[in-house]
Structures are given as C-alpha cells and as structure tokens.
Structure 1
Amino acid sequence: MRVPPLPADRWDEDVDDALRVMLPRRLRNPESASNALSTLARHPALTKAFLTLNVHLLFRSPLPARLREIAILRVAHLRDCVYEWNHHREAARTEGITDDEIAGVARGEAADAVDQLILRTVDELEEKSNLSDATWDGLCAHLDEHQRMDLIFTIGTYNTLAAAFNTFGTRSEYER
C-alpha cells in the first residue's frame, strides 16, 4: 500500500468534517468507514471537495442507478480497479443487475440496448475522451440533458477514483 488508511489516532475534526458530506456520524470513524474513505481522509480538504461531487453522482443524480452502476463497473473493468469493481458489483446487485449482466459488462456486452449504449459510451470516452455523434444521439434518445451530463461526469469521476485506488494500493473489503 502506497497510501494506507489514516491511523485511528489521527482522526480529528477536519476528517470528521470532510466525511460529514457523505457519512452519518455513526460511520465517521476508522472502524466503520471504508478503506477508500479512510485513505482519502489523509487529505481532508480534498476529500470534502471530492465527496461533494461524488455524493451528487451517487445519491442525487437523475441518472438511473442501474445505468450509473453499469458505467462504473465498465470503468472499473477497463482500469482493472479491484476496489471499484468489488464495491460497485455489490451496488449493481442491489440495483437488480444480475451476475450474468455483470459478467457481460466486463466483456463489453449487454442484452439491453440502453445498457449496451452505456458500455459504448464508456469505451469511447476511454479511447478518445469524446463520443461519436451516433453514441451522443443515442444518449439523447434515452436520457435528458442532466442525465447525460451526470453520465459523463460519473465516468470521469470513477476513472479518477480507479487511478487513485490503483496507485494508492487501496485494498478492497470484498474478494473479487
């Protein structure tokens, strides 16, 4: 681990304030917070700023949760981010995404046309940081403007998190 979770004796008011953006009081401690949040807590100002965006994308976005989780899983697969894959595999299951559908995400395949469009969106952004007109038009047919914007920011945010988790050596609480 290059950047380990913050030791319990260094959790202070700044850390509590940073994590308040996402976690209820009972979870803002080194025993309850995830390895990811405990690692990010080493830099409270960055954590607070980042979590403001992340909370929107996870809990306040008009983007359907199913599509969000498909996009995040595809990012995690492409970035080989075990931490992100494991956590969002569980979130995907909670959203009713089956294990067969999750396996399809890793292959870049989906039976549902909108799910496949989301996979193509992630792949195109990965390849050239832009979308083809056909992919954009497809998104316009299924998502409103705010949903499309949130999708692009979700993909970018989880690319950033994958880079951070992989570089820091953040360990997953789940097995792959």
Structure 2
Amino acid sequence: MRLSQPRVHPLTNDLTPEQAEVLAPLGQGGVIPAGPVLNIFRTLAHAPQALKAFLTWGNYILSKKNDLPAREREIVILRTGFLCRSGYEWTQHVEIGLRCGLTPDEIQMLKAGPDAGWSPADAALVRATDELHADQFISNETWTQLLTHFSQKQAMDVVFTAGQYTQVSMILNTFGVQLDPGQTLDPDLRVG
C-alpha cells in the first residue's frame, strides 16, 4: 500500500440522494461476492457521476462483452495491479483470479513477469501488459504473439483491460483506499 491512511475517506451513512442511488446496487453479487459495499466504491461515491461512468466501463471489462476469457483477463488485471504497486487492486483480484481458474502458483508467477514459465499464450498476455505499463504501447513482436493465440478483438481487450486497471490503480494508490475488512496485504506490495 502506498498510504497507510486514506486521503479520501470512504463514505459511511451520511449520503446524498445521488450517492445513495449510485451505491445501492453495489455489493449485491456478480464478480464481487454479495456483502458490504467495498471501500473503492464508497470512496469514489464522493464523485457520484464519476463513479457512475466508471462503473459503466468497468462493467464492460468484467463482463462477457470483454472477449478475453475470465482467467486471461485476470492475468492482465493482476499483472497491471502488481506493476502499479496497488495493494488494494492486487488483494481484490487475487480472490477473483483464483475463482476464475488461476492457481496460487500462477498468481505468484505474475510477480516475476513473462519469462516465469508461462505457456506461450499466457506469456504474451504478461509481456503485452508489461509493455503497456512501461511504454503505453505493445511492440509489433508482442502484438504478433498475441494474435497467434487470441483474436484481434481479444487483443484489443488486453489494451482496454490494462488501461482500465492502470486507471483503477492510480485512483486507489492516490486516494489511499485501504483494504476491506478481513483482507491481508501481500508482503511484496508493502511500500515504504
């Protein structure tokens, strides 16, 4: 975690009608198990219109409209979160990644990068994510590798997914969103 305390505190009970409306459907299932509204959403609700727009794009990334299979999508999300040093993002998506078919060993391999023993398809995903993080561009060689294993639309969704979770990581890191109750920070993502 970049910050040990939030810069923007999650909202609790004193909500405007607009904040209450945008938060009402959250925490009710889907990719995230039903339960309390997560700190990320209660933090972003300070700007309810931004949260509403954020959820629209985020729902595309996490839906079947994204042509990447869930496991492959989570490879991109987790690698992006790790590269951005986003403890909150990593913690949330480790649980999701496991449910989507990643193994605990693969999750640890994501920390090491594309040469950590991945299949060629998975290595292409990790390498593309690394290039997007470092240069905001996928090289011709890596793009060709992606297209060997994935459709053009899936390769586009790699870029969309990495871009979304880079933004999410920036938000979480800068606003100081803290882990939700019961979560433990991966020691490799402790900063400072």
TM-score w.r.t. structure 1 length? 0.89
Give the equivalent residue in structure 2 for 1:117: 124
Give the equivalent residue in structure 1 for 2:78: 73
What code does the residue aligned with 2:177 have? T
Cα distance in 1 for residues equivalent to 2:138 and 2:37: 36
Q: Give the counterpart of 1:3 among 5, 8, 33.
A: 8
Residues 150-161 of structure 1 mapped to structure 2, 5 A cutoff: 150-161=157-168
Question: Are 2:176 and 1:169 equivalent residues in the alignment?
Answer: yes
Q: Give the counterpart of 2:45 among 24, 32, 41.
A: 41
Q: Is the contact between residue 63 and residue 150 of structure 1 (CA under 8 Å) also seen in structure 2?
A: yes
Q: Is the contact between residue 101 and residue 110 of structure 1 (CA under 8 Å) also seen in structure 2?
A: no
What code does the residue aligned with 2:67 have? P
Residue ranges of structure 1 left out of the alignment (5+ in a row): 26-30
Residue ranges of structure 2 left out of the alignment (5+ in a row): 1-5, 30-34, 186-192
Residues 90-169 of structure 1 mapped to structure 2, 5 A cutoff: 90-108=95-113, 109-169=116-176
Q: Is the contact between residue 27 and residue 38 of structure 2 (CA under 8 Å) also seen in structure 1?
A: no
Give the equivalent residue in structure 1 for 2:32: none
CA RMSD after TM alignment: 1.8
Give the equivalent residue in structure 1 for 2:188: none
TM-score w.r.t. structure 2 length? 0.82
- Check 1:23–1:149 CA distance in 2 against 1; reply closer, same or farther (3 A cut): farther
- Check 1:136–1:35 CA distance in 2 against 1; reply closer, same or farther (3 A cut): same
Runs of at least 4 residues off by over 3 Å: 19-25
What code does the residue aligned with 2:144 have? D
How much has 1:110 moved relative to structure 2? 4.0
Q: Give the counterpart of 1:53 among 52, 57, 64.
A: 57
Normalized per residue, the structure richer in helix is 1
- Check 1:21–1:156 CA distance in 2 against 1; reply closer, same or farther (3 A cut): farther
What code does the residue aligned with 1:36 have? I
More displaced 10-residue stretch of structure 1: 154-163 or 139-148: 139-148
Cα distance in 1 for residues equivalent to 2:130 and 2:108: 16
Cα distance in 2 for residues equivalent to 1:113 and 1:166: 32
Q: Is the contact between residue 82 and residue 111 of structure 2 (CA under 8 Å) also seen in structure 1?
A: yes
Q: Is the contact between residue 35 and residue 171 of structure 1 (CA under 8 Å) also seen in structure 2?
A: yes
